[in-house]
Amino acid sequence: MIGVSVHDGLRGRAAKLAAAAAALKRRSGVEAAPFSLAFLTDRRRIASPEPILRALPTGAAVIYRDYDDPKRTAVAARYAAICRRRGVFFLVGADASLADAISADGLHLPARALMTAAPRRRPGLLTASCHNADELAHAARAGADLALLSPAFTTLRHPYTKNIGPARFISLATTATLPILALGGVNETNAHRLRGPNVVGLAAISAFVG
């Protein structure tokens, strides 16, 4: 069982990220967005994310990826149940059948699936991973509710991948036709550098554990 101090620490981290996301939302010019804070699973970096799921504030979201997990169906169902109890949105990456089977709140399209996605004809939320203007346009045509634009900054996972940078990020978000979550090296200390039109919040992985 997770210790009280660890749980409080995770809740504190989540609260700081939620505050940073809310500040972005206030400056975005967007009145309504499904959510402004999202946690993305990555079992190689955070093997047991359940404590984070339990620490997320109501109205946040979890995007379940872990595409190669042999127990993906059972794990997704367990995570979805935790999120449901806490009032947290739960989206499944790249598998509409699984999303339907566990009554997830929506589907997340990675960039590789986005470019061939047909316009949405299913209920629930739809989010998409994007890295450039072309992918943002595809996300809008697919009917996505939100786009996760990355990498905003240099990340631990991809230290040699060129990041978008604040100026270009804000430019891409401003010309987008759907709300944007900032992803990639974003935390409560640097999120303010991405404030601008359509930037309604942030998504992260390791930022939730400091």
Q: Which residues pair with 6 in a beta bridge?
A: none
pTM for this prediction = 0.94
Pick the CATH number of 4-208 from 3.20.20.70, 2.30.40.10, 2.60.40.740, 1.10.1510.10: 3.20.20.70
The fraction of the chain above a pLDDT of 70, given in percent, is 96
Q: What is the pLDDT of residue 1?
A: 40
Task: Answer for the pair 179, 145: CB distance below 8 angstroms, yes or no.
Answer: yes
- CA pair distance 173, 177, nearest whole angstrom: 8
Q: How far apart are CA 129 and CA 183, in angstroms?
A: 9
CA distance 184 to 40: 11
List the domain boundaries for the chain.
Answer: 4-208
Task: Name the token pair of 162.
Answer: 């060129």
Q: Which two tokens stand for residue 140?
A: 């809008």
Task: Compute the distance between CA of residue 101 and CA of residue 58 in angstroms, rounded to an integer.
Answer: 23
Tokens 């061939």 locate to 116
What mean pLDDT do residues 174-186 have? 98
Q: Hey, what are 147's tokens?
A: 């786009």
- Predicted pLDDT at 158: 63
Q: What is the mean pLDDT of residues 78-101?
A: 97
CA distance linking residue 127 with residue 25, whole number of Å: 17
Task: Evaluate the CA torsion angle 76, 79, 81, 85 in order and state its sign.
Answer: negative
The alpha carbon of residue 50 and the mean position of all alpha carbons in its chain are separated, in whole angstroms, by: 16
Calculate mean pLDDT across residues 181-193. Answer: 98
Nearest to 149 by CA among 157, 12, 134, 107: 134
When pLDDT is averaged across residues 77-100 and rounded to a whole number, the result is 97
